[in-house]
Structure 1
């Protein structure tokens, strides 16, 4: 009979240890979830992905897929500049809202620039999908001319232009565009 009591005591200790470890893991997962939500802008910091609204875009000179030269001087009020990467799940998520918004701009694709970040091989489908609504600029990474001028630190990035190369609205979610339209 003492063997049964000893086995039962050991089993209770193991169950208590398991419970303590489970509670610790749950607490840690909550901390990670909070950090992820904060980083992805679900709490605040909508404009952290690019220069903030009110900042002036840096100088740049790029050539679009249509062989048009674009500089900061070409950015007009109401123009939309967006940054996408084919390796970005959030880009895929916000792409339909971007396409809807860009399709409704009065100037058509002349008022929209989509900067695609990645290698030429991986950009093919994305370029084809967005070329109907936007002028396409390709850059290898966030150290390209437009990415640097806009202070891009990740993607997707959506920027609505104000006057004189100043950002009227900026964020990593496409809803920043519809929120700006209301203002």
Structure 2
């Protein structure tokens, strides 16, 4: 009889250990799912997906798909710069709110720049959807000039410009922008 109790105690201990390990794995999977849903973001130690608000954007020189050259000197106060990728579920989720917000800016398309990360083939649909509300810049990946200048660590990313190339507001959701409506 004592052997039976000992075996039962060992089985209970193993089941309890298994339960604890399973809970730990589930917790870790939830953290990974949150990162994936945020677009593969790798925020900095301060939790930012780009340079933080108050930082000055680095120098860059890019050409839009409309063949217009843009540099940091072209950034104006109130201008919205967004980063999207077609491989990003969070980008797809934030796209309608971005289009609504960008459509409401007084400067129209001239006050909005969308940086699309990926190959031209995979960007076709996204480029078409956003070209009505934004100037489009295409970069192959986060090593592009604008991505580096903004310290891009993931996407989607939304940056509202302040004066002299300084970031006023940054975030990975449109609802961080002033006057936006969270949906």
Counterpart of 1:98 in structure 2 is 98
Per-residue CA distance 1:38-69 (angstroms, 9 max, x = gap): 8959xxx7861111101111111111111111
Q: Which residue of 2 aligns with 1:120?
A: 120
Larger radius of gyration between Structure 1 and Structure 2: 1
2:11 aligned with 1:14, yes or no? Answer: yes
- Normalised by the length of structure 1, the TM-score is 0.83
Q: Separation in 2 of the partners of 1:173 and 1:162? A: 18
Q: Which runs of 5+ in 2 are unaligned?
A: none
Answer yes or no: is the 8 Å Cα contact 1:47–1:171 preserved in 2: no
* Cα contact 1:47–1:53 (8 A) shared by 2: no
1:24 to 8, 21, 24: 21
TM-score of the superposed pair, with normalisation by structure 2: 0.83
Secondary structure of the residue aligned to 1:56 is coil
Asked whether the 8 Å contact 2:61–2:71 carries over to 1, the reply is yes
Correspondences of 1:3-152 after superposition (within 5 Å): 10=7, 13-30=10-27, 33=30, 48-152=48-152
Q: CA deviation at 1:97?
A: 1.2
Distance in 1 (alpha carbons) for counterparts of 2:105 and 2:179 = 15
Unmatched 5+ stretches in structure 1: none
Q: What is the alpha-carbon root mean square deviation over aligned residues?
A: 3.0
2:59 aligned counterpart, secondary structure: coil
1:81, 1:115 within 8 Å by CA — same for their partners in 2? yes
